């Protein structure tokens, strides 16, 4: 079996692309890589990309000069976890509080990691997770 190396992209679907861009770029500080009428792409730690699509705008196949991207879409509250250093978790909690983003839950995992859960403006569940959550992290 050939090896998969990493999850390169994760996608969320939102009702208001401008609002989502303001949240991910402004509130979470993710660098913007690409923006157009149907999506925004954000750099996450120089290792992965968060794609934020306007709900319904990517449901049809999209032809590009290099080939066709199959249609996709999503509904309901989805989940993405962001890896953070353990020593930065308190600073993140303070940043969320300062930006009026309520923390919904905090979990301390058996391996020693800690997760903090909150929501974006579209209700997606976002997680900040420190090392010790998984055997691989």
Q: Give, in degrees to the nearest 5, the angle at Cα 16 between 25 and 56.
A: 120
Residue 129 φ/ψ, nearest 5 degrees: -125, 135
Predicted confidence (pLDDT) per residue in 29-64, tens digit: 999 999 999 999 999 999 999 999 999 999 999 999
DSSP E strands in 17-94: the ranges are 32-35, 39-44, 48-54, 62-64, 67-69, 79-83
Cα–Cα distance for residue pair 67/60, rounded to 1 Å: 14
CATH number of 1-62: 3.10.180.10
Cα–Cα distance for residue pair 130/108, rounded to 1 Å: 10
Q: Do 1-62 and 77-137 share a fold?
A: yes
Instruction: Taking residues 101-110, report their average pLDDT.
Output: 98
- Asked if residue 129 has pLDDT above 90, the reply is yes
The structure tokens listed for 62 are 């999209």
pLDDT of residue 4: 84
Whether CATH 3.10.180.10 fits 77-137 = yes
Percent of the residues in the chain that have a pLDDT greater than 70, as a whole number: 100
Domain ranges of the chain: 1-62, 77-137
């Amino acid at each position: 079996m050939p090896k998969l190396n990493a999850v390169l992209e994760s996608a969320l679907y939102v009702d208001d692309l401008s609002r989502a861009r303001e949240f991910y770029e402004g509130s979470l500080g993710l660098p913007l890589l690409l923006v157009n009428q149907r999506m925004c792409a954000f750099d996450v730690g120089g290792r992965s990309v968060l794609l934020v699509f306007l709900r319904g705008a990517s449901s049809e196949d999209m032809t590009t000069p290099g080939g066709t991207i199959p249609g996709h879409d999503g509904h309901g509250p989805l989940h993405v976890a962001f890896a953070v250093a353990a020593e930065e978790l308190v600073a993140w909690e303070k940043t969320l509080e300062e930006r009026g983003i309520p923390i919904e839950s905090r979990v301390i995992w058996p391996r020693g990691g800690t997760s903090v859960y909150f929501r974006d403006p579209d209700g997606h569940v976002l997680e900040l997770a420190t090392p010790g959550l998984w055997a691989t992290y």
